[in-house]
Amino acid sequence: MKEQLKDLVNKLQMELKNCEKEAEVLNVKSKYLGKKSELNNYLSSIKDMTPEEKKINGPLLNQIKKELEKLVDEKLEVINNQEILDFDDTLPVEVEIGSLHPITIVAKEVTDILKRMGFTVVSGPEMESDYYNFEALNVPKDHPARDMQDTYYLDNGMVLRTQTSDNQIHAMENYGAPLRICAPGRTFRNEDLDANHENTFFQIEGMVIDKGVSIENLLYVMKNVLSELFKKEVSVRLRPGYFPFTEPSYEIDMSCLICGGTGCPTCKHSGYIEMVGSGMVHPNVLKAGGIDPEEYTGFAFGIGLTRLTMMKYKINDIRVLNSGDIRYLKQFNID
């Protein structure tokens, strides 16, 4: 039987030599190691052998079986490696490539510009406490300024943040002064929807705190951000405004790029679009963040990221941005 088994090994080796594909090897494997194989016949005959025969043939059969299996495995490995080498990476592959949402693209561009000016990007929670969204920002309960923002109050006593300004307090608490942060994020207000209003929109908050910071610095940063983003000089207009967390407060408008400043429904026929709320950080806000207003001053700004995106891509209906209409949204790309 020893001779016959050795012969099996030789025959298997010969057959494997001619195999080029995995399937061919598997056929050979089943022929030599499968249920109907010669080897299997020998294995099932063990039970009819005498104890002496068993003692000799049992280990021998096992050893041959292992040898055959090893030869098959080795051949399979060679073929699999060969298939990887044979893979033609010049063949065209059809892959559906996704695209970034236009708001994501503009948020990245603006934060990249701010990062180059030394800002660190931070983020805060969308479900916020009344303290961070209002009180620490110098908007106590019953303050009339709460009416400026139609708030979603949640059953658990929290709010959906109405503004990214909550990041100001988190950042002061986390990092102290001096400070230079920006925070893009989603915000929520109970607005009636139309071409210019959404209940879910995006802002980018900015805050700089240091010794001797002035409104000049704020204007420089704003002009730089808008000109770099639009890759041309953008004309801006500064108006006195009111925000409880800044004193003095300013609204910064930019010329409407949808109509070129001649007037259209998007800019309410004024030629300008309100884009940024800003001002010098109110001493109460610095105090809430644990910073001494005698020692430090700061400015802060909140850019309407959704509006900015509409300007950048000349989108005249805000609702498409939350529509999830991929055919529309996938046409934008980072330039």
Select 42 or 243, whichever has its Cβ closest to ligand DAH: 243
The three-state secondary structure class of 115 is helix
Asked if residue 132 binds ligand DAH (CB under 6 A), the reply is no
Provide the minimum distance between the beta carbon of 263 and ligand DAH in the complex, in angstroms, as a whole number.
24
Number of residues that bind ligand DAH (CB under 6 A): 12
**Calpha distance 119→183 (Å, rounded):** 10
Q: Candidates 16-24, 85-93, 111-119, 241-249: pick the segment binding ligand DAH (CB under 6 A).
A: 241-249
Asked if residue 151 binds ligand DAH (CB under 6 A), the reply is no
Q: Candidates 52-60, 98-106, 118-126, 273-281: pick the segment binding ligand DAH (CB under 6 A).
A: 273-281
Asked if residue 277 binds ligand DAH (CB under 6 A), the reply is yes
Asked if residue 243 binds ligand DAH (CB under 6 A), the reply is yes
Q: Candidates 10-18, 124-132, 272-280, 310-318: pick the segment binding ligand DAH (CB under 6 A).
A: 272-280
**Calpha distance 137→289 (Å, rounded):** 9
Site for ligand DAH in 94-123 (CB under 6 A): none
Asked if residue 205 binds ligand DAH (CB under 6 A), the reply is yes
**Calpha distance 197→200 (Å, rounded):** 9
- Kindly give the residue spans of alpha helices, DSSP state H, lying in 90-214: 102-116, 130-133, 166-175
Asked if residue 302 binds ligand DAH (CB under 6 A), the reply is yes
Give rounded-to-5 percent helix, strand, coil for the chain. 45, 20, 35
> Cβ(190)–Cβ(150) under 8 Å?
yes
Distances (CA, A) of 253 to 54, 123, 137, 161, 304: 96, 25, 23, 24, 11
Which residues of the chain form contacts with ligand DAH (CB under 6 A)? 163, 165, 205, 243, 245-246, 277-279, 300-302
